[in-house]
């Protein structure tokens, strides 16, 4: 059971969801996509490899890679009418609020890929969502800073395109830094899928009612936004800034231990990992690499993060509770060094996690015995009571 409800996504009588996509061992700190370790995929693979693997179950051959990349590239534009939606948001709207709205609105544009029972339409929805997320994310960012939007280019890789759409301006040629593009590839792979986390469970639950796939992914974006989940990367950076300016590390750690204090050590702890999140280790080395390339090795926030990690991981309170850095702990510092604004951190997480969401949605839709998710509960309320008229209610 999770909290007050017995989580049964309606797929099995055991109350647990069955999947062949991602395996996590929370005690050993192991994360595997379709049998391949996250370490191998991050180090030796790339976005296309990992995305194809999650969707299709196998690493792509050279020709499969080329075809898949062509398909994704040729779905990266969004309908021109949809671009008008962005003008309707307040200038300071949070990009995650925008993404929830515009991704849900895709349902109004692509009715030729909404039939969950049609394999070709299912795959078209998956490709459209994966391909369009960076475009929508970049439009949300450009609109928020009053810059003209930048269209995707078919000659660029997924990560290069994302950086180009975020940072290119009409007044000069944007030079793509290959090291930055590679770092982004790894970050996207690390964030792609993670078994039945809150947002993926939300997508599966929404999808189990055979709702429109674009609306299902919008529900996943909404769930990811919370600071206890994907919103933690933004919260970590703000926490490090507070510690850097107001709080010292020992006091911050004492506050984190105090149940009555709302202060939480963001980027620490995990529902499943009770040891180091394997993605955090890779994230930390990507962080060092990006800071070095950006000549920001002396980033004060990195120093605080490293010191916080050193002290907390040798503190009885955290060790006893299995609280270690998770994927969000170093991602904020890395993204900041890449020039990505804090407000876009969780959006980037959503871009990456869309691959896992659509892969798990597709797996659920392919279930030969589709059943609606219907979690049960432990009822702790009052049972039968006789009705009392308003006159005699005191
Ligand atoms: C993600 O599920 C996924 O897979 C998510 C994710 C993914 O890829 O989809 O991995 C992405 O969401 C990572 C998590 C990002 N969130 C944060 O970094 C926010 C800070 N972390 C905490 O809010 C917390 O650790 C959670 C929400 C992640 C987990 O909270 P739980 O379920 O309460 O953790 P727990 O049951 O293991 O807690 C054990 C104890 C509790 O204290 P006791 O009641 O036993 O005394 O540790 C405490 C908790 O109160 N605790 C913390 C803490 N996290 C847990 N105390 C201080 N600081 C923290 N960060």
- What are the pLDDT digits (tens) for 157-193? 999 999 999 999 999 999 999 999 999 999 999 999 9
What is the distance in A from the centroid of ligand 1 to the CA of 380?
25
The Cα–Cα gap between 264 and 256 comes to 5
In the predicted structure, residue 149 carries a pLDDT above the cut 70: yes
The Cα–Cα gap between 317 and 12 comes to 37
ipTM reported for the complex, 2 dp: 0.91
Contact status, residue 56 vs residue 65, Cβ threshold 8 Å: no
Query: Model confidence at 11, in pLDDT bands (50, 70, 90)?
Result: very low
Residue 248's pLDDT is: 87
Question: Residue 327 carries which DSSP code?
Answer: T
Residue 115's pLDDT is: 86
Residue nearest atom 41 in ligand 1 by C-alpha distance: 321
**Tens digit of each residue's pLDDT (9 = 90 or more) over 87-134:** 999 989 999 999 999 999 999 999 888 888 999 999 999 999 999 999
Residue 60's pLDDT is: 98
What is the distance in A from the centroid of ligand 1 to the CA of 260?
16
What mean pLDDT comes out for the span 195-224? Answer: 97
Contact status, residue 29 vs residue 390, Cβ threshold 8 Å: no
Contact status, residue 363 vs residue 34, Cβ threshold 8 Å: no
Residue 112's pLDDT is: 82
Coil, strand or helix at 190 = helix
In the predicted structure, residue 13 carries a pLDDT above the cut 80: no
In the predicted structure, residue 2 carries a pLDDT above the cut 80: no
Q: What is the mean pLDDT of the chain?
A: 93
What is the distance in A from the centroid of ligand 1 to the CA of 161?
34
CA atoms within 13 A on the CB side of 18: 12
What mean pLDDT comes out for the span 198-224? Answer: 97
* CB proximity list for 314: less than 8 A, separation 6 or greater: none
Q: Torsion angle of alpha carbons 117, 123, 125, 127, nearest 10°?
A: 170
In the predicted structure, residue 5 carries a pLDDT above the cut 70: no
CA-only gyration radius of the chain, Å: 22
Select which of 75, 191, 229, 270 is catalytic: 270
Of 69, 82, 56, 97, the C-alpha closest to 231 is: 97
* CB proximity list for 66: less than 8 A, separation 6 or greater: none
In the predicted structure, residue 299 carries a pLDDT above the cut 60: yes
Residue nearest atom 49 in ligand 1 by C-alpha distance: 321
Residue given tokens 């300016």 in the structure block: 245
Beta pairing class for 30-33 and 22-25: antiparallel
What is the distance in A from the centroid of ligand 1 to the CA of 26?
13
328 lines ligand 1 (CB under 6 A): yes
Q: pTM for this structure? A: 0.93
Residue nearest atom 55 in ligand 1 by C-alpha distance: 269
328 is catalytic: yes
- Provide the terminal-to-terminal Cα distance of the chain, rounded to the nearest Å: 39
What mean pLDDT comes out for the span 217-223? Answer: 98
């Amino acid at each position: 059971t999770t909290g007050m409800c017995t989580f049964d996504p309606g797929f099995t009588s055991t109350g647990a969801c069955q999947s062949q996509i991602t395996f996590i061992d929370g005690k050993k700190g192991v994360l595997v996509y379709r049998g391949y370790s996250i370490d191998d995929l991050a180090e030796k693979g790339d976005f296309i490899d990992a995305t194809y693997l999650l969707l299709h179950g196998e690493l792509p051959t050279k020709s499969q890679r080329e075809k898949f990349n062509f398909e994704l590239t040729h779905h990266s534009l969004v309908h021109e009418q949809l671009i008008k939606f962005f003008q309707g948001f307040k200038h300071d709207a949070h990009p995650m609020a925008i993404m929830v709205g515009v991704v849900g609105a895709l349902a109004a544009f692509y009715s030729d890929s909404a039939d969950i029972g049609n394999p070709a339409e299912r795959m078209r929805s998956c490709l459209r969502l994966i391909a369009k997320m960076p475009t929508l994310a970049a439009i949300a960012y450009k609109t928020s800073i009053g810059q003209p939007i930048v269209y995707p280019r078919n000659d660029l890789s997924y990560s290069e395109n994302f950086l180009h759409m975020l940072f290119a301006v009409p007044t000069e040629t944007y030079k793509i830094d290959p090291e930055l593009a590679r770092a982004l590839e790894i970050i996207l792979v690390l964030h792609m899928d993670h078994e039945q986390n809150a947002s993926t469970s939300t997508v599966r639950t929404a999808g189990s009612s055979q709702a429109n796939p674009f609306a299902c992914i919008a529900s996943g974006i909404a769930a990811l936004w919370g600071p206890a989940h994907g919103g933690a990367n933004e919260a970590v950076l703000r926490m490090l800034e507070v510690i850097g300016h107001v709080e010292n590390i020992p006091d911050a750690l004492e506050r984190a231990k105090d149940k009555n204090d709302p202060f939480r050590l963001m980027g620490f702890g995990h529902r499943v990992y009770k040891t180091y999140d394997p993605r955090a280790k890779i994230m930390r080395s990507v962080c060092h690499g990006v800071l070095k390339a950006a000549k920001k090795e002396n980033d004060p926030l990195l120093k605080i993060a490293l010191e916080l990690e050193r002290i907390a991981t040798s503190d009885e309170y955290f060790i006893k509770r299995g609280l270690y850095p998770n994927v969000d702990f170093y991602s904020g510092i890395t993204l900041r060094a890449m020039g990505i604004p804090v407000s876009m951190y969780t959006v980037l997480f959503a871009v990456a996690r869309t691959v896992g969401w659509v892969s798990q949605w597709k797996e659920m839709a392919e279930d030969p015995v589709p059943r609606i998710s219907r979690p049960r509960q432990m009822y702790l309320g009052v049972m039968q009571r006789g009705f009392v008229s308003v006159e005699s209610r005191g």
